[in-house]
Chains A and B, each alone.
Chain A
Amino acid sequence: MQTNDHILQAIRIEKTFPGTRALDKVDFHLRRGEVHALLGENGAGKSTLIKCLTGAYRRDGGAILLDDAEVDPRDTFEAQALGIGTVYQEVNLLPNLTVAENLFLGRQPRRFGMVDARAMNRRARDLLADYELDIDVTRDLASYSVAIQQVVAIARAVDLSGKVLILDEPTASLDAHEVAMLFRIIRRLKARGLGIVFVTHFLEQVYEISDRITVLRNGQLVGTRETANLDRRELIAMMIGRELAAEIHAPRAEVRQGPLRYRFRNYGRKGRVRPFDLDVRAGEVVGMAGLLGSGRTETAELLFGAHRADSGGAEIDGRAVDLASPRAAIRHRFGFCPEDRKTSGIIGDLSVRENIVLALQARRGWTRPISRAEQNRLADHYIRALDIRTADREKPIKLLSGGNQQKAILARWLATEPEFLILDEPTRGIDVGAHAEIVKLIEALREKGLSLIVVSSEIEELVAYSTRVIVLRDRAHVAELDGSRITASEIVEAIAATNERRTS
């Protein structure tokens, strides 16, 4: 193998966090003009490796070679200057700056020493035009959806990457259309000879776009293979260290549904969700499908009382209830895993244990503390049951990898033994193994008689566990599929059909 077709090489990278050996002498070689998938379970060390490459973390050992010359970026600024553009895992842009400022931060066009805002905005618009995004670039980034933010982050990184582009789970909050667009851009960059590192948990995407695959497990390099020579089963085995029983579930047997328990009539809130009717039975999983920004999250928040409904009413078991606040909803045994786990999910500085017991404790009230022994028991139970990868239960949750944080929040609600569980994108950023486990878990909860509402952008997944699927568009419920009509193509068609109606 010639060395000079390697654009970026990482040699025996080491990184240790207190209690965790995040990277153990990992080698990673990126060729010119290839898309290289970096895979592994949650907490395998992918993000850590990337951060070591770009100087966001100081590595404890090892060397980095860019174009065969040793480099040592001390911070991301230097990495950018070297031509390494990166999209980090969480949407890492500044919500308080405008879209244009985010795109050109640190390299704004200047005239007479002053930032030339007009030129900057024009260039920002041009840049985003490549991504079929026609938005007002002078507005704050925060006013756009996560998806748009993600596209902006990608556009910025691409624009910055002269040699190497690193994408850490860029597609987690994108829908199919946007993913296709991203892939078009990646292919174009690849043709220009850039090296592209691509982290994702969607294996379909790996096979669609990548040339080679490197797999990490528990901070160690498992191996690097040509994508063409690695079949899916083998890849999963490399990632999780064992064979996965059945990755996608066979269509389940006809489920027996319980009694109708939750009735929402004409439920809605001005400016957020158009009033809708919704009935949920015990032992039912209602999937919610729709394009980005179609109002799924807002529906979920409304049902949980995070926003108060201003029309219609809710009934549980035939009795009218007022879901005015999350507390009220929790009293009726609701649970809610929010979509944005960083801002509305985790309590970063608190330990995994405290994060798990929080909701249960809040429901019991402050005067009836859960004893430490009981907390430990609960935490250990769920850490085991959901396979949360953490050094110990006292680790601050913010130090866990993204997927493990998600599982801990799920554990928080399971600990309250809910009867009505609302999950907003529960599998976002979760590895294949855990993905399968969560799908299994949803099934198991349904069989236990829970009612679930699951918002997901992964249609395959919705098909796998939903007993009914609701399709949203423009903040309104527009279609409902059940029984045999729950298939990927039917759902896609329902979304598309409504789309056509929009254009006509």
Chain B
Amino acid sequence: MTSFLRLYFNRLLPQLIALGIIVAAVSLVFPGFLNLQIQNGRLYGSLIDILNRGAPVVLLAIGMTVVIATKGIDLSVGAVMAICGATAAAAITSGHSLAATLLITLGVGILCGLWNGVLVAVLDIQPIIATLVLMVAGRGVAQLITEGAILTFNDPDLVFIGSGSFAGLPMPVVIWLIFGILTALLVRRTALGMLIEAIGVNRQASTLSGVLTPVLLIAAYVLSGLCAAIAGIIAAADIRGADANNAGLWLELDAILAVVVGGTSLLGGRFSIAASVLGAIIIQAINTGILLSGFPPEFNLIIKAAIIVFILVLQSPRFRTAFAFLVPARGARNPSERAAK
């Protein structure tokens, strides 16, 4: 068991190091960064902000990880977030109970995932294009629901999901923690994880081995849709309104970035949900760090690009072999040979 934990730790080590470097760098610029205090019965501080603000991307990254593991990609998650946020707001303002609202919204998210999944698995359309359809049309659907305005609501229960707290942690953090752990258990305690990886590496060989490829593919996109729905609810609850125009805008790129920073290959196969979650947190740490640093906003993108390139270079297989002594290279492979095979 301990060796298992060690393996796990080793897998996450590069991400942990990157996070550590960023946190250290930001606390240099902004000394109050690490302060944590209890306020109104919940933890309060920049670190908590990172976990809290990172919630949507973390959730999207969880679903995206599984989709990417199947060698797919889901560009529609931002739009699905908007649809689901709008659905939730519309449902709650038209008088549905919280439970009904959540059910309807999650249902809509699952439906969106189903659509993507069917396009990819049954109609055999390339994932980028298949999900691009919903990415373009989805935001229109969301605006159709809100008629382009911000649909505000004040239902305290729904608002609680966005800004309440539980056990000292903001609700969004609690939600993604639970959901992330559940998903990780679901894929690792069952055979799902391995079967999904098999599909991602070699779909044809998996099918010939009796893996239910289409169903699993659809399931991956459904999971992604579900994640986007939860993220959409959180985003709407956070601002007490559904902003169909901007909710989740370009977040799909952040989610993909998070997965890659987490070390899952875009070519499918091996994946780690924990690493993707860490990746999302890293990205949020960058964003929050930029906000706290007080640089003029014109520099935001350059700083972000520079940090991302830095992290990716740290992680690149070439760099890792060159500096194998820095990162304990358990199971690390020789990259050039790998490519040549």
Contacts and interface: CB of A to CB of B under 8 A. Distances in A.
Given A56-B340, A359-B210, A361-B195, A349 B205 contact: no
Interface residues of A, number: 39
Contacts of A12: none
Given A348-B202, A361-B191, A368-B191, A326 B337 contact: no
Interface string A343-356: 11111111000100
A26 to B, nearest CB: 17
B137 interface: no
B205 A346 contact: yes
Interface in A67-94: none
Interface stretch (B26-34, B169-177, B251-259, B328-336): B328-336
B190 A359 contact: no
Contacts of A394: 331
Contact of B269 (A18, A57, A349): A349
A227 B29 CA distance: 75
Interface in B166-192: 189-192
Contacts of A58: 336
Interface in B24-68: none
B209 A359 contact: yes
A368 B190 CA distance: 7
A18 B209 CA distance: 29
Contact of B208 (A18, A306, A367): A306
Contacts of A354: 194, 197-198
A343 B331 CA distance: 25
B23 interface: no
Given A347-B198, A354-B198, A368-B191, A17 B208 contact: no
A369 interface: yes
A338 B210 CA distance: 13
A343 B204 contact: yes
B212 interface: yes
A350 B209 contact: no
A358 interface: yes
Contacts, number: 91
Contacts of B331: 394
A326 B202 contact: no
- Range of interface residues on chain B? 20 to 34
A369 B201 CA distance: 20
Contact of A344 (B194, B208, B270): B208
Residue of A330, A344, A394 with most chain B CB atoms under a 10 A cut-off: A344
A370 B201 contact: no
A428 interface: no
Given A57-B340, A361-B191, A369-B190, A350 B207 contact: no
Interface in A431-472: none
Nearest to A396: B333
Nearest to B204: A344
A343 B210 CA distance: 15
A336 interface: yes
A366 B191 CA distance: 5
A157 to B, nearest CB: 18
B191 A370 contact: yes
A17 B204 contact: no
B197 A349 contact: yes
A363 interface: yes
Contacts of A366: 190-192, 195, 216
A344 B191 contact: no
Contact of B212 (A18, A359, A362, A412): A362
Contacts of A6: none
Interface string A25-61: 0000000000000000000000000010000111000
A363 B209 CA distance: 9
Contact of B209 (A326, A369, A398): A326
A347 B192 contact: no
A343 B191 contact: no
Nearest to A367: B190
Contacts of A57: 336-337, 340
A399 interface: yes
A272 interface: no
B341 interface: yes
Contact of B211 (A343, A344, A362, A368): A362
B198 A358 contact: yes
Contacts of B206: 347, 358, 362
Residue of A359, A365, A367, A369 with most chain B CB atoms under a 10 A cut-off: A369
A265 interface: no
A394 to B, nearest CB: 8
A308 interface: no
B191 A369 contact: yes
A350 B197 contact: yes
B334 A350 contact: no
A123 interface: no
A17 B198 contact: no
Contacts of A396: 333
A394 B332 CA distance: 12
Contacts of A51: 340
26 contacts: A51-B340, A57-B340, A304-B208, A326-B208, A343-B202, A344-B204, A346-B202, A349-B197, A350-B201, A350-B269, A354-B194, A354-B197, A354-B198, A358-B206, A358-B211, A359-B209, A361-B194, A362-B206, A362-B211, A363-B210, A364-B191, A366-B191, A366-B192, A367-B190, A367-B191, A412-B209
6 closest residue pairs by CB, A with B: A362-B210, A330-B210, A369-B191, A349-B269, A359-B209, A362-B211
Given A327-B210, A362-B212, 10 more contacts: A56-B340, A57-B337, A346-B205, A348-B202, A358-B194, A358-B206, A358-B209, A362-B209, A362-B210, A366-B190
